[in-house]
A = this chain, B = another copy of it.
């Protein structure tokens, strides 16, 4: 029983111990529960106004910098977007480079990355037996590489996906998660008809432990028709095929490019799957299971314990991949529950029992969400757990070649990859959100391996009849399903939040500001870093002092106009040609407006505030 060997358990426990010590930032998500909360309180609501930049570091790479640095034992580890350089910097020496790893990747992967050449960070695995401590990077070309954390030398590497000419268009952007003696990675490419999967590799040698697909037969989805449940009921046989027409599940999306969580006690892994392919819903009747689905899988075998599909038969590209935050003893209607909280792209925030997948709360976390009235909460209803779609905003009902207008949120959702934070002190969630609406016109496309498989033309704009901005930073009560406070922002908050025991909440903005607010949402500090922030704010302690660190580097989907050069007519037109083909707009303004799946026009004003460039900025209090 490989899975339960004493050594494996040891390494796992070592990682859990390291994550409990807030001096480290040892996982991309901070901890397995994805709380992005730190016990450190040297920097607190009273002194945060004195924060200073202590040192900074340019990564040498342009385009969007997501994720954030890991810190362990005086060393900081992080990576860049394509070409995915990994740096180990010396905290004792203002970030002198201890080692640097630059893989040789084929640049042909760039055009098959839907939403910029981002990467959400590296993972750390403690040493075990002969194996040294590892830094794991999951590259754009889907290579998973294990580097010796001391030297940066390759220990092993393995190719997780496929993207040869004319074959699949799989790519990698997500941060790996180390658990027990394994490491988990997902896959990107639902805009190219990639069929989603997560794969656990053995840390010892990079061999596959298990792989679980999002769609397909039970043997490949690792579903047990009797024991895997959806809202309390067995899923039944081959549920990953049953709600698809013909072979559509084979190119059906449901990619897995978001964040992963792990409950060591339940031994369950949590993650969500993305949009079904194509974006034209008319072409793929049915619920399209298990796209847009939260999964709880057994960590050892990959078998699904329970699933919950947030957006059956997606008509808006509301990928369900956002992070799942695990909270113990949340009082819901007076009863303590161990829950998973999930802020979905579709604008609903879900609270579920994390052992059973029971749906406890599902409420809008942006009041302007309009595509559905609510999620049906009556277990006896045949609509139980389903969002109640408003016909006016149903791109399917309005039909192909019809522009459905005024849908809120836009395709990039009320929240996208930018992770929220949870403070056990306030029992609130701090959520970076988008406040953007869209027009969406689906059209017929045919699948060609290796080619874009989008099938919709989208424009985005700030939510009408609101504050005029494209984002909010909110505090959320997941027990009640209520917004506690909300800070309007000019642009979407595309950066991950951090909550600390110092009663300060941090986040970054697309203009490039790092901001600190108190638990009432009052701004305490802001500083303009070199470029727009889509990275996550992390904190750590070194030599007895607390620091913050954040990557700047505008990009990601929201910043794709700048990052991909799509604000210029030439770039936008090339993009349209590749993605929309015959349907490419002939008008230049329209080409720019709808390029980058609608983000280019929507976020065009970003170019007035910031320019490309990747930098790490480290903050601390005055000496």
- Among the listed stretches A217-225, A347-355, A356-364, A523-531, which one makes contact with chain B, having 4 or more residues with CB under 8 Å of it? A523-531
Interface positions, chain A 587-619, Cβ under 8 Å from B, are 607-617
Residue of chain B at shortest CB distance from A529: B56
With A614-B613, A615-B613 already in contact, the answer to whether A530 and B97 are too (CB < 8 A) is no
In the complex, are the beta carbons of B613 and A528 less than 8 A apart? no
Interface positions, chain A 86-118, Cβ under 8 Å from B, are 87, 94-97, 100
- Among the listed stretches A57-65, A124-132, A167-175, A578-586, which one makes contact with chain B, having 4 or more residues with CB under 8 Å of it? A57-65
Q: Is A384 an interface residue (CB 8 A)?
A: no
Residue of chain B at shortest CB distance from A554: B58
Copies of chain A in the complex: 2
In the complex, are the beta carbons of A58 and B531 less than 8 A apart? yes
Residues of B contacting A530 in the complex (Cβ-Cβ under 8 angstroms): 56-58, 530, 615-617
- Give A616 to B528 CA distance when docked, in angstroms: 11
Q: Is A235 an interface residue (CB 8 A)?
A: no
Contact of A53 among B53, B512, B553, B609 (CB under 8 A): B53
With A95-B528, A615-B530 already in contact, the answer to whether A552 and B58 are too (CB < 8 A) is yes
In the complex, are the beta carbons of B59 and A611 less than 8 A apart? yes
A603 CB → nearest B CB, Å:
15
Q: Is A447 an interface residue (CB 8 A)?
A: no
In the complex, are the beta carbons of B94 and A613 less than 8 A apart? no
Residues of B contacting A56 in the complex (Cβ-Cβ under 8 angstroms): 53, 56, 528-530, 615, 617
Residues of B contacting A53 in the complex (Cβ-Cβ under 8 angstroms): 52-53, 56, 527
Residue of chain B at shortest CB distance from A50: B622
Contact of A97 among B58, B94, B96, B608 (CB under 8 A): B608
- Give A87 to B531 CA distance when docked, in angstroms: 14
In the complex, are the beta carbons of A57 and B97 less than 8 A apart? no
Residues of B contacting A62 in the complex (Cβ-Cβ under 8 angstroms): 60, 62
A489 CB → nearest B CB, Å:
15
A553 CB → nearest B CB, Å:
8
A94 CB → nearest B CB, Å:
4
Residue among A50, A614, A616 having the largest count of chain B Cβ atoms under 10 Å: A614
Residue among A50, A97, A611, A614 having the largest count of chain B Cβ atoms under 10 Å: A611
Residues of B contacting A57 in the complex (Cβ-Cβ under 8 angstroms): 528, 530, 610-611
Write out, one digit per residue, whether chain A residues 271-300 have a CB within 8 A of any chain B CB (1) or not (0). 000000000000000000000000000000
In the complex, are the beta carbons of B608 and A96 less than 8 A apart? yes
Size category, A interface? 35 or more
- Give A479 to B528 CA distance when docked, in angstroms: 45
Interface positions, chain A 454-479, Cβ under 8 Å from B, are none
With A52-B53, A53-B53 already in contact, the answer to whether A613 and B97 are too (CB < 8 A) is no
Interface positions, chain A 506-530, Cβ under 8 Å from B, are 512-513, 527-530
Contact of A613 among B55, B58, B527, B610 (CB under 8 A): B58
Interface positions, chain A 41-85, Cβ under 8 Å from B, are 50, 52-53, 55-60, 62
Residues of B contacting A617 in the complex (Cβ-Cβ under 8 angstroms): 56, 530
Interface positions, chain A 486-516, Cβ under 8 Å from B, are 512-513
In the complex, are the beta carbons of B95 and A60 less than 8 A apart? no
Residues of B contacting A528 in the complex (Cβ-Cβ under 8 angstroms): 55-57, 94-95
A404 CB → nearest B CB, Å:
34
In the complex, are the beta carbons of B58 and A609 less than 8 A apart? no
Residue among A58, A62, A610, A612 having the largest count of chain B Cβ atoms under 10 Å: A58
In the complex, are the beta carbons of A615 and B615 less than 8 A apart? yes
A606 CB → nearest B CB, Å:
10
- Give A607 to B58 CA distance when docked, in angstroms: 12
In the complex, are the beta carbons of A612 and B58 less than 8 A apart? yes
Residues of B contacting A94 in the complex (Cβ-Cβ under 8 angstroms): 513, 528
- Give A531 to B61 CA distance when docked, in angstroms: 12
A195 CB → nearest B CB, Å:
37
Residues of B contacting A52 in the complex (Cβ-Cβ under 8 angstroms): 52-53
In the complex, are the beta carbons of B97 and A612 less than 8 A apart? no
Residues of B contacting A531 in the complex (Cβ-Cβ under 8 angstroms): 58, 60
- Give A59 to B608 CA distance when docked, in angstroms: 13
In the complex, are the beta carbons of B609 and A97 less than 8 A apart? yes
In the complex, are the beta carbons of B55 and A610 less than 8 A apart? no
- Give A58 to B56 CA distance when docked, in angstroms: 12
In the complex, are the beta carbons of A609 and B96 less than 8 A apart? yes
- Give A226 to B88 CA distance when docked, in angstroms: 65
With A527-B55, A528-B55 already in contact, the answer to whether A60 and B614 are too (CB < 8 A) is no
In the complex, are the beta carbons of B607 and A97 less than 8 A apart? yes
Residues of B contacting A562 in the complex (Cβ-Cβ under 8 angstroms): 60
Apart from A58-B531, A60-B611: 8 A-B pairs, beta carbons within 8 A: A56-B617, A57-B530, A57-B611, A58-B512, A58-B610, A58-B615, A60-B531, A100-B607
User: What are 27 A-B pairs at a CB distance below 8 A?
Assistant: A50-B622, A53-B56, A53-B527, A56-B56, A56-B528, A56-B529, A56-B615, A57-B528, A57-B610, A58-B512, A58-B530, A58-B552, A58-B553, A58-B610, A58-B611, A60-B62, A60-B611, A95-B528, A97-B609, A97-B610, A100-B611, A530-B530, A530-B616, A530-B617, A613-B613, A615-B615, A622-B622
Closest 6 CB pairs of A and B: A58-B613, A60-B611, A58-B530, A58-B531, A55-B528, A60-B612
